[in-house]
Amino acid sequence: MNRLDHLRSKPRFDRSHWPQEWTSEWRIQVLDLFCGRGGTGRALDDWFPDRMYMGVDIEDYSEEYPGQFLQADLINPDQRPFTGATADVVWVSWPCTAYAQPSAIAYGSSDEALKENPRLTDEFREWLLSIGGHYIIENVPNASYYGDLDANVQLNGLGFGEDFDNTRVFETTFECPDVYEQGEAEITMNVDGDQSIQDLAEAKGVPSAWKKSGVRSAMPWQYVYHLLNHCPSVDIPGPVKEQQTLDSINGNSGNYMMFYGGKCGGHICEGRCHGNHGNPSSEAGFNETIVRENGETSIKRSSFKL
């Protein structure tokens, strides 16, 4: 898969200079808007205490969402529940019904789908900038194609070594590298007809009980950690691509770890590294990274020589 030609190369609103943890009273680090049952929330739950993230949706998912939950209308400006500094970063899963390809079929045309469903607006962006230090807005590629989403990041499952594609584009207020690869996915996103949802649910780490629409729309945990790892206002490790010795790369001793998007975790880099050595929150000489095995999440620490 080539990079979509309608994506931005830089963030539209670049807040990379904003400090970490700019909120002083609320201590909500991540506000998860249009959260649904908790695809993004399940990823947040593996790293943040419940009190440090909150999901918001017009439907009542309080029994399913893993952290704090608030039921509210986010589309109507007069009904939005927050004003002023609220969170360090706001994650937005804006409804994709205006942009998704099945909507064009259901409404008779893409124009009708755009007309009949809520679209992302600058007014909404202004509200996000007023309540959060940073924001991440995700959607299907068509949201960027139609000009509503100023996406600057493209991710897919194949880029993270997964067996599904699930291409998503993101508009962020900070720079973040793309992670995507071309290829044929073994697990299809098309679960219409008699195709089972079980394989896709297991690959994404969400319950198959969420059914087809819930599983398809669930955000893979790797996407969440990759984006938040590059967000200046939160401190979270990124998913690891692979670990190998420096001897296998350039003949130097020590350990080497490459993060997705070309972020180097060792002390000597070649190729795509941009000079970001190691996790900034880690102790000197160590990398801390998220590892998932058999559905369990843990922190893996590995040493490297300075």
Mean pLDDT of 89-109: 91
Residue 259 reports pLDDT greater than 80: no
- The model's pTM: 0.74
pLDDT of residue 282: 33
Closest CA to 21 of 224, 287, 298, 281: 281
Residues 189 and 268 in one domain: no
Question: Does a structural domain hold residue 20?
Answer: no
What is the β-pairing status of strands 240-245 and 255-259?
A: antiparallel
pLDDT of residue 235: 83
pLDDT of residue 190: 67
pLDDT of residue 155: 94
3-class SS of residue 99:
coil
pLDDT of residue 2: 75
How many helices (H) and strands (E) the chain has is answered by 9, 12
Structure confidence at residue 226 as a pLDDT band (50, 70, 90): very high
Residue with the larger pLDDT of the pair 114 and 247: 114
Question: Does a structural domain hold residue 9?
Answer: no
Residues 115 and 142 in one domain: yes
State how far the Cα of 146 lies from the Cα of 270, in Å rounded to an integer: 38
pLDDT of residue 275: 42
Residues 206 and 244 in one domain: no
Residues 225 and 245 in one domain: no
Question: Does a structural domain hold residue 3?
Answer: no
Residue with the larger pLDDT of the pair 1 and 228: 228
Residues 206 and 75 in one domain: yes
> Considering only 57-61, 173-177, 254-258, 268-272, which range has the smallest mean pLDDT?
268-272
Question: Does a structural domain hold residue 8?
Answer: no
